[in-house]
Structure 1
Amino acid sequence: MMRGALYAIVIALALFPGRGWSGGWIAPLVDSETGPHHFVAIDKNSQTFFLFERKSPLRVVEKLPCTTGLLTGDKLKEGDLRTPEGVYFITSRLDGGLDWEQYGDLAFPLNFPNPVDVIKGKSGHGIWIHGRGNSITPYETKGCVALNTPDIRNLDAKLELRMPVVIGNRIETQKTPETLAREAEEVVAATHAWAKAWEGKSEEFFKIHDQEKFAISQGQPFSAFRNQKEGLFRRLPWILVAVEDVRAVAGPDYWVTYFIQFYRSPSLISQGVKRLYWQKNDAGAWRVVGMEFEQMPATLAGKYIKPGQIVLAAAETGERERETPVLDKISEEDPRSATDAPATAYAPSTAAAHLATDAASVPAPAALPATPSAAQRQPALSAPALSAQPAAPHLSDLTQLAEAATPRPSALFASLAPSLGQKSVPPAVPATIPTVEPPAEEIVVEKVPVAEKAEAPQPAPDERSQIASLLENWRAAWEHGDVDSYMAFYGNRAVQGDRRGLEAIRDHKVSLWAEKPPRSVRMEDVRVAPRKNGWRVEFVQVYESKDGFGDKGLKKMVLVKAGPRYIIVDEQWSRM
């Protein structure tokens, strides 16, 4: 009997080397004011999925069984059947076209390999958090993290794009060591110093980077990065670099800070989510070894741009940030190669976008005009009309921009009547989930006098009323759970999130409302801008179901003309 038991143990160790015995990274969950508000943690040793929120102290929101790679230890190369260890971020949400047996019907890709993984020479692709077509068993994936399908469905409303995911051999939830708490403060301070040095066009900006590692992670010589920046420094009289709500997460031998970055020069504005990867050099100083950047609409323009001034969006000039985008790839468990499926554009959420209301820590240059006061802003028109008609550019602004690019007419987001929503809220950070519309070419803050905008496109009075009526009736149909009335607002090939076509949208709503009937739907800070053959609509959506569930986020719609009426052809939502 003893010999048989010993033989079984030897066979088990041979088949599953190091399982439960290997060291691996013990991931410390740093309870710091600079930490993320919500994040995922995966304990590979106990095969446990955690969802945390920080409300001083950290609190476990969900604790669920999960399964990771067949072999233990950190992932080093493609196909090694291991789950990576480190800090990653959810890049998108997939709920269609999945292999049911492998992934169930829902998956959340991660940004493996991250810049530090690239520096370390790790390879692989398509690491996802996903469901399963059958009940999970421990250590059964090819590198992904899998949950039982009912569990991941229940998590769907809680997992956010751009949410941090900490994966370790073990998760340490004890009191945060003073060293880690101090390091969190150091990398946040270093992030603000990095932005200040960039804004000051200082040599210190380049010194903050580890040239050798940065070149590896970014895939280009550091000299190319430096030459591009120095060229802009010489050409531009000033630049503004504002960072808002910097958050820090500890990795195995690195830290990640992530934040909303707003960039402005005399000829350009750019806004997006920036992630900086930090390691200490031999002298013990923090240095940037890698970064990732995802462009998004410049929702903070009103905070940093003079009223009436026109500045081109990032896509219009050569001044665009040349930084590493994050793309989804097919899963590590997919039998196809990485080149067999197209990469999906990164779709950031608002997980990291808890915008600060005070940007005093990032002062504007002397030449930068102040943000308009409330008294200077254009008041909204009375219901049910659209307000703030699209503005034509000032000639002085066009002269200022002549050397940078040739601007084309564009339109200002206009506020709908107050009757459609509640009181206004600060601008939200939208997800950049791809839609059928092109990005705006320029930003105009506050409309100009009527005499100067005669040639700009304007909605006719009946169109104003029609759009206002459509939105209110759409909202009421949703609030009352009237599926037929709700669906009447969509085109046959409408897109709603990852759903394509009327049938998919209807099936989703029928299933969702049967389980959680809606109680109330509110629209706040509604804005409309013209686009080809229709209108682009954005508003803050506040939703509550009858079981008490509630959420708040940014809703984006594209409306096009279909005969005598408008229909919704594209609709996207991101949590705030």
Structure 2
Amino acid sequence: MPAERARGPRARMLMACALAACLLFGGALTAPPVLADNWQATLRNEGLPGKLVGVDKKHKTFHYFEKKSPLKLRYSYPCVTGQLDGDKQQVNDLKTPEGVYFVEYKIAGGLDFREYGGIAYTLNYPNPVDRLRGKTGHGIWIHSKGFDLVPTKGCVAIGLKDIAEVGPLLTPGTAVVLAEEFDAARQPAPDDGTAAELRGLMRDWSDAWAARSDALFDFYDAPAYSRATEDFGAFRRNKERLFKILSFIKIYNREIHALEGPGYWVTWSEQFYTASNLSTEGIRRLYWQKGDDGKFRIVGMEWTPRDVGMQADFKQGRLVAEAPRNVRTDAGGADPEMPVAPRLDMPEAPAVGAVAASAKPVAAASEQQPKAGPAIAAAAGEQLVAISDPLVPRKTPVAPPAEITWGSGRSMDARQGAPGAENAAPAVPAPPAPAETPATPPQEPAPAAATPQALTPAPQAAPVQEAPPAQEAAPEAFTAEDKAALARDVRAWNKAFAERSADIADFYDRKEYNRLPHALGVPRGPSYDSTMRALQREFRQPWMRVVEREPVLEYHYPVAVSRCEQMVVGPEGAVQGLRTLWWCKDADGEFRIVGSEFKHGEYGLAADYLELVSGEVSRAVEAWRKAWEGARVDDYMAYYTPDAVQGGRAGSRTIRSQKEGLWSRVKPTMVNLSGLRLAMDRRGIRADMTQAYADSAGRSDRGVKTLLLRYDGQGWRIQREDWAPEAPAR
């Protein structure tokens, strides 16, 4: 009986429903979510990488190629793949996926010898196109077998001697083509123009990015990208904001490679990114599919921070950017010349002298840069090893920036208009309640343990926006000079608030504060004395950080109003809302505050705060990693709070005792961190990352490390550390 008839009508109906669902929820503008079953790989002689693995599932053969002009087969071994035929679709289906993948890292210990032979090289399954097509599962590796080569649960396995020979060549980033058929004897075919087109598109994409141009977004298939990589709307909004903040972006690509997969293409390159906020290097991969209009668009993107030597070349002036091909900047003004090489002691270190001229969200406050102890500051010339993923937005309730942006800027104008000095902005978390909430004065917090220290001038505020006049009594009521003076006073008040300055009292009209007639639109609230006491309590915190957007001014003669979205962060947490100040001119012609109000609300300022502190947090995490890898107990423990919790160990003394005993017997040999993700937490900053570990006893593991970090006025300390090992799946 034929197989189809044997299934019966009910089975055929279920299959039809499944196919309809697949077609409904699969691809976007591009190829439908068909299976890659029986995919026969074809190599083109355009954009081939320097080394390549090809796996022929049908003939059970593993091939390793090196590009020696042309591509040459160096090794060929027998191999086994999944127990069932076809392209992998879901977890535990015992199939090996078909497509283009890349080696991620090596596992050198802790594996079952019979199953894995003791060594494995992980692949990036599922890749973005796999996710777009709804595939599930993970843990697809290239490994060996302890004894006989028997079919796997989905991996590719070769012999023990074979993996010992080819394994050292399977470095991170090596391309791996998994196909039903891969003809190693056939020479790469001439390019039909597609590979060359896609390599050019990646260059144009880089040029648009460097130009801070809206043309960048035309390269993406937005619906598909949202399903395969991240929400495209959040990605676009973040990029548009950064284009206005950053004064320059430069992108350097080495050779761009291209490979064809089943229904998609991948282009990738070693890439160096430098901007006014950070510099980093690694491997950039773009996944392309052709839409109904015949144009290729990006449906997925991957970024792997890695030391590829481009930073060193940049420092020595050996990197030369290609001239942009088709894109001109629309970020406002001409693209500036490359500045003096930034300090590259770590990928997320701000460039020396870089000033982020913010036009939108700005940091309104800046504390005195704390003097970090020897265990806090990274030594000059050191590099952060794959600790962050600066170009992929973090998936948090409030989407933080894709490219972590921090930096220093000019201080706000003083009340008299005198410019302030430039200072780097440090980190800090915020007060339990803001001052000047009209109906209910804030509750007094617990007495502060330390007297607030003087703060440096805050970064330059964005220009104050002026709202259209509403019901202005007469056009001449507020002159242009009045409006300019008020804008200066609003910036100066913000600066005094951020610096917790006692001079803030000079901005208030002590006699008229909260006493004007209701007809003028000024709300009644706490008295002047109550407001000053509330501000003093708020300023008594050991430290405080203010992040705000540009104020908006309104004029309703004889009252002017300033409104500003603002977040205040301190030791007890963070609060954000809309701060409104009402101003009137006094007898001396000076603007004074006659009313104030702070309404709590969600304005998405957490992302801006993360920009402000990300550099410090990543430096602290990297220094902690180095202390751990070097088994330096004192330096390692400098990053823990006294009440820290690490797994089942409570308190820094317990953690120290355990580490001293362990490291006297077995020492770490490798601690690698990648994909750092930061999110605001009620108690500080939560940092999640992938961690790979190995020690001198031959043990190794990989999983997700989560740190809860709190700022103590001097630096970031770990209050809680959790670990979740990554279990192999198929």
Instruction: Report the alpha carbon displacement of residue 410 of structure 1 after superposing the two structures with TM.
Output: 5.1
Query: What is the CA deviation profile of residues 71-116 of structure 1, one whole-angstrom value per residue up to 9, with x for unaligned ones?
Result: 1111111111110000001111011110111111110111111000
Query: What is the CA deviation profile of residues 2-53 of structure 1, one whole-angstrom value per residue up to 9, with x for unaligned ones?
Result: xxxxxxxxxxxxxxxxxxxx96100112233x21100110000100000001
Q: Which residue of 2 aligns with 1:150?
A: 161
Q: Which residue of 1 aligns with 2:139?
A: 126
Whole-Å separation in 2 of the counterparts to 1:271 and 1:104: 34
Q: Which residue of 2 aligns with 1:209?
A: 220
Q: Which residue of 1 aligns with 2:104?
A: 91
Higher mean Cα deviation, 140-149 or 401-410? 401-410
Structure 1 residues 182 and 357, CA gap change in structure 2 (3 angstroms): farther
1:26 alignment partner, one of 40, 55, 62: 40
Q: Which residue of 1 aligns with 2:353?
A: 397
Q: Which residue identity does 2:298 align to in structure 1?
A: V
Q: For residues 267-282 of structure 1, what are the structure 2 equivalents within 5 Å?
A: 267-282=277-292
- 1:261 equivalenced with 2:271 (yes/no): yes
Contact 1:305 1:370 in 2 (8 A): no
2:173 alignment partner, one of 162, 187, 201: 162
TM-score (norm 1): 0.54
- 1:244 equivalenced with 2:254 (yes/no): yes
Instruction: Report the alpha carbon displacement of residue 252 of structure 1 after superposing the two structures with TM.
Output: 1.1
Whole-Å separation in 1 of the counterparts to 2:143 and 2:74: 19
Contact 1:306 1:370 in 2 (8 A): no
1:368 alignment partner, one of 306, 312, 337: 337
Query: Match of 2:58, SS?
Result: coil
Instruction: Report the alpha carbon displacement of residue 433 of structure 1 after superposing the two structures with TM.
Output: 8.9
Q: Which residue identity does 1:132 align to in structure 2?
A: K
Query: Match of 1:102, SS?
Result: helix
Query: What is the CA deviation profile of residues 319-359 of structure 1, one whole-angstrom value per residue up to 9, with x for unaligned ones?
Result: xxxxxxxxxxxxxxxxxxxxxxxxxxxxxxxxxxxxx9643
Contact 2:286 2:301 in 1 (8 A): yes
- 1:290 equivalenced with 2:300 (yes/no): yes
Instruction: Report the alpha carbon displacement of residue 304 of structure 1 after superposing the two structures with TM.
Output: 5.0
Contact 1:305 1:371 in 2 (8 A): no
Q: Which residue identity does 1:159 align to in structure 2?
A: L
Q: Which residue of 2 aligns with 1:70?
A: 83
Higher mean Cα deviation, 250-259 or 39-48? 250-259
Instruction: Report the alpha carbon displacement of residue 243 of structure 1 after superposing the two structures with TM.
Output: 2.0
Q: Which residue identity does 1:73 align to in structure 2?
A: G
Whole-Å separation in 1 of the counterparts to 2:41 and 2:352: 56
Q: Which residue of 1 aligns with 2:421?
A: none
Whole-Å separation in 1 of the counterparts to 2:67 and 2:84: 32
Query: What is the CA deviation profile of residues 484-507 of structure 1, one whole-angstrom value per residue up to 9, with x for unaligned ones?
Result: xxxxxx9951405888554549xx
Query: What is the CA deviation profile of residues 521-573 of structure 1, one whole-angstrom value per residue up to 9, with x for unaligned ones?
Result: xxxxxxxxxxxxxxxxxxxxxxxxxxxxxxxxxxxxxxxxxxxxxxxxxxxxx
Q: Which residue identity does 1:495 align to in structure 2?
A: T
Gaps of 5+ in 1: 1-21, 308-355, 378-388, 415-428, 435-440, 444-489, 506-576
Whole-Å separation in 2 of the counterparts to 1:177 and 1:396: 48
Instruction: Report the alpha carbon displacement of residue 244 of structure 1 after superposing the two structures with TM.
Output: 2.1
Q: Which residue of 2 aligns with 1:200?
A: 211
Instruction: Report the alpha carbon displacement of residue 143 of structure 1 after superposing the two structures with TM.
Output: 0.7
Q: For residues 118-517 of structure 1, what are the structure 2 equivalents within 5 Å?
A: 118-137=131-150, 140-173=151-184, 174-178=186-190, 180-218=191-229, 220-296=230-306, 300-301=310-311, 304=314, 358-361=320-323, 366-369=335-338, 397=353, 411-413=379-381, 432=386, 493-495=667-669, 500-502=694-696, 504=698
Q: Which residue of 2 aligns with 1:343?
A: none
Q: Which residue identity does 2:222 align to in structure 1?
A: Q
Q: Which residue of 2 aligns with 1:533?
A: none
Instruction: Report the alpha carbon displacement of residue 270 of structure 1 after superposing the two structures with TM.
Output: 2.6
Whole-Å separation in 2 of the counterparts to 1:134 and 1:394: 52
Whole-Å separation in 1 of the counterparts to 2:42 and 2:70: 14
Structure 1 residues 203 and 401, CA gap change in structure 2 (3 angstroms): closer
Q: Which residue of 1 aligns with 2:48?
A: 35
Query: Match of 2:255, SS?
Result: strand
Structure 1 residues 244 and 362, CA gap change in structure 2 (3 angstroms): farther
Instruction: Report the alpha carbon displacement of residue 269 of structure 1 after superposing the two structures with TM.
Output: 1.9
Whole-Å separation in 2 of the counterparts to 1:130 and 1:24: 23
Instruction: Report the alpha carbon displacement of residue 129 of structure 1 after superposing the two structures with TM.
Output: 0.7
Q: Which residue identity does 1:163 align to in structure 2?
A: T
Instruction: Report the alpha carbon displacement of residue 411 of structure 1 after superposing the two structures with TM.
Output: 3.8
Whole-Å separation in 2 of the counterparts to 1:165 and 1:396: 40
Contact 1:69 1:82 in 2 (8 A): yes
Q: Which residue of 2 aligns with 1:469?
A: none
Whole-Å separation in 2 of the counterparts to 1:175 and 1:500: 41
Q: Which residue identity does 1:27 align to in structure 2?
A: A
Whole-Å separation in 1 of the counterparts to 2:71 and 2:181: 17
Instruction: Report the alpha carbon displacement of residue 234 of structure 1 after superposing the two structures with TM.
Output: 2.0
Query: Match of 2:256, SS?
Result: strand
Query: Match of 2:254, SS?
Result: strand
Whole-Å separation in 1 of the counterparts to 2:354 and 2:45: 50
Whole-Å separation in 2 of the counterparts to 1:84 and 1:494: 35
Whole-Å separation in 2 of the counterparts to 1:263 and 1:165: 26
Whole-Å separation in 2 of the counterparts to 1:23 and 1:240: 41
Whole-Å separation in 2 of the counterparts to 1:492 and 1:37: 38
Instruction: Report the alpha carbon displacement of residue 155 of structure 1 after superposing the two structures with TM.
Output: 1.6
Q: Which residue identity does 1:250 align to in structure 2?
A: E
Q: Which residue identity does 2:246 align to in structure 1?
A: L
Query: What is the CA deviation profile of residues 279-331 of structure 1, one whole-angstrom value per residue up to 9, with x for unaligned ones?
Result: 11111111111001122459534655799xxxxxxxxxxxxxxxxxxxxxxxx
Whole-Å separation in 2 of the counterparts to 1:298 and 1:62: 26
Q: Which residue of 1 aligns with 2:439?
A: none
Q: Which residue of 2 aligns with 1:11?
A: none
Structure 1 residues 395 and 237, CA gap change in structure 2 (3 angstroms): closer
Contact 1:304 1:371 in 2 (8 A): no
Instruction: Report the alpha carbon displacement of residue 60 of structure 1 after superposing the two structures with TM.
Output: 0.8
Contact 2:248 2:276 in 1 (8 A): yes
Higher mean Cα deviation, 275-284 or 151-160? 151-160
Whole-Å separation in 1 of the counterparts to 2:357 and 2:380: 18
Contact 1:278 1:286 in 2 (8 A): yes
Contact 1:241 1:264 in 2 (8 A): yes
Contact 1:39 1:51 in 2 (8 A): yes
Instruction: Report the alpha carbon displacement of residue 134 of structure 1 after superposing the two structures with TM.
Output: 1.1
Instruction: Report the alpha carbon displacement of residue 250 of structure 1 after superposing the two structures with TM.
Output: 1.3
Which protein is bigger by CA-based radius of gyration?
A: 2
Whole-Å separation in 2 of the counterparts to 1:442 and 1:206: 24
Instruction: Report the alpha carbon displacement of residue 236 of structure 1 after superposing the two structures with TM.
Output: 2.3
Q: Which residue of 1 aligns with 2:93?
A: 80
Query: Match of 2:104, SS?
Result: coil
Q: Which residue identity does 1:76 align to in structure 2?
A: Q
Instruction: Report the alpha carbon displacement of residue 238 of structure 1 after superposing the two structures with TM.
Output: 2.7
Q: Which residue identity does 2:224 align to in structure 1?
A: K
Whole-Å separation in 2 of the counterparts to 1:395 and 1:89: 32
Matched residues, number: 351
Instruction: Report the alpha carbon displacement of residue 167 of structure 1 after superposing the two structures with TM.
Output: 0.5
Whole-Å separation in 2 of the counterparts to 1:149 and 1:161: 20
Identical aligned residues as a percent: 33
Instruction: Report the alpha carbon displacement of residue 56 of structure 1 after superposing the two structures with TM.
Output: 1.6
Contact 1:296 1:430 in 2 (8 A): no
